[in-house]
Structure 1
């Protein structure tokens, strides 16, 4: 019997992927969680013992799960976020954490642009109205000449910046590292978060949570946002205080919230997801053929490098 590797991303359990099967051909035993479903804590506690490697998705990983992982050496994410992992516990156990850096950047950036257009042109409303037998016509807004606020200029944020500038928009961006993106100064500038929130027609989030786990967009910040602002969130749901966001949507200060992420996936409460000013997608930012291929290849290579070191 070979060493065991647990595979849990929904995009990889629904059907076998060649990069995962490559691990099997190299002598590893592959353990899959329930096909196409987000694994529960109890399922993971049952599956993870004796596994030396774990190709992980966005499923919550608790300290109880890691306590059951008696032989685990490495967790390799098929993405870049590690908010779902108990990093302190993993560090204490000496479990290495690896990410597929940049693998899904283009997919998430393109979805971000799609959500912007959907919000500015009320595309979901028009589609639903026509299918219901109506003919809704909402006057839209063009992206050219608008100010796009981008919080976070890593691999995804910088792609979004390039795309919207190519479409004729101006960008105000925040990133603590202020990387040089080689973008024209007439169209791109760095600014502070509060300045961006007050000025942006569209605000898009591409950053991790603050270190203390608090929300970035608090009730106070939402109250100071530009009236009629569109917010796009393809990063993390907890970046925004949900109750304050619902209030801002109800009173129209935020015209549309377009999101690919929720606290629970799928959401059990539809207070936010079913709001008439919300456009929702089902965490599909990195779920393109190209992104899945890149992320799976990098994640598998990371596992091999760690387990053969």
Structure 2
């Protein structure tokens, strides 16, 4: 369905755009906002904006096409004209939703638009972990002809923790590679039975039975992988996190890596982005990517169009 577009051209207010995938190079869908009569503001082109930049740039904005930057209630209270925040994704844990509701600010998401991109990255990180691709690349570029024996992904047991839209895509892709898949979800979709090699299981069984574990849960109050649950993993397990940094206890993970309980951690998400230097990030068996799960041409197109359409509809309804 094409995005809703207004026909009048009178200025209706300003809209801030902060996702890094949009604020630097732009996107054709942003023109729909301008065609609808809104002026665009870019607080920090190509970067994650600070609170000061948000406060200064959004003081008179009615709409906000937001990235993953934190939006605490105290900041939202200083944006008196703001009426709608539209995310080009599904994560809203960085937004104080109670404060937004109290202030009459709609919070909108674009579910499912980046599912394929995130799922493919999870699979790519599994393959990179199994074959130590980043390590081999570093060695060869440093002039060292060294090799680490890898493992084939076919025949491995994958544990999918959180089997929603992304988790189900990961499971399907993994089955296509010859893996066996165990999945845990608090609300399992009973109709999802893609293969005899797929089955639903309790969390403990997923952890104790899987050679690779991939996280796809929403944010939780407590880490899903802490010292106790990491202790349930098979020795030499691989952990993939393309969901939320809060799902892993960093201290416990570092100990698990040092002990060999976890062979490799591959993560695309961090508690603060960009993250400060740490022992975990610099660990030789940690693979990192800078939150690129949904950063594909196709995912950006789908997410941007949905986010813009949501924002236009919300602002039109309020007018």
Task: State if a TM-score over 0.5 links the two structures.
Answer: yes
Alignment match, 2:8: none
Q: How far apart are residue 114 of structure 1 and its match? A: 0.4
Alignment match, 1:96: 106
Pairing partner for 1:129 from 139, 149, 156: 139
Write the mapping of 1:31-42 to structure 2, written as runs, cut at 5 A. Answer: 31-42=41-52
Aligned residues of 1:55 and 1:78 also touching (Cα < 8 A): yes
Aligned residues of 1:41 and 1:62 also touching (Cα < 8 A): no
Unpaired stretches in structure 2, ≥5 consecutive residues:
1-10
Alignment match, 1:222: 230
Q: TM-score, normalised by structure 1?
A: 0.97
Alignment partners' CA distance in 2, 1:236 and 1:122: 23
Pairing partner for 1:8 from 15, 18, 29: 18
Alignment match, 2:3: none
Matched positions, count: 306
SS of 1:112 mapped into structure 2: helix
1:183 aligns with 2:194: yes
Write the mapping of 1:251-270 to structure 2, written as runs, cut at 5 A. Answer: 251-270=259-278
Q: How far apart are residue 36 of structure 1 and its match? A: 0.5
SS of 1:68 mapped into structure 2: coil
Alignment match, 2:30: 20
SS of 1:203 mapped into structure 2: strand
1:76 aligns with 2:94: no
Alignment match, 1:271: 279
Alignment partners' CA distance in 2, 1:134 and 1:269: 26
Write the mapping of 1:173-252 to structure 2, written as runs, cut at 5 A. Answer: 173-179=183-189, 180-184=191-195, 186-210=196-220, 213-252=221-260
Aligned residues of 1:48 and 1:65 also touching (Cα < 8 A): no
- Any idea what the Cα deviations from partners look like across 1:126-172, whole Å, max 9, x if unmatched? 11111111112111111111110001111111110000001111111
Alignment partners' CA distance in 2, 1:66 and 1:305: 21
SS of 1:53 mapped into structure 2: strand
**Alignment RMSD:** 1.0
Q: TM-score, normalised by structure 2?
A: 0.94
Unpaired stretches in structure 1, ≥5 consecutive residues:
none
Runs of 4+ with >6 A deviation: none
Greater mean deviation of Cα atoms: 268-277 or 286-295: 268-277
Pairing partner for 2:311 from 266, 291, 303: 303
Greater mean deviation of Cα atoms: 109-118 or 44-53: 44-53
Aligned residues of 1:125 and 1:136 also touching (Cα < 8 A): no
Alignment match, 2:58: 48
SS of 2:160 mapped into structure 1: strand
- Any idea what the Cα deviations from partners look like across 1:196-253, whole Å, max 9, x if unmatched? 111110000011122xx21111111111211110000000011000000001001110
Aligned residues of 1:216 and 1:239 also touching (Cα < 8 A): yes
Q: How far apart are residue 3 of structure 1 and its match? A: 1.3
> Residues 283 and 107 (structure 1 numbering): CA distance in 2 closer, same or farther, change over 3 Å?
same
Q: How far apart are residue 182 of structure 1 and its match? A: 3.5
Alignment partners' CA distance in 2, 1:116 and 1:16: 32
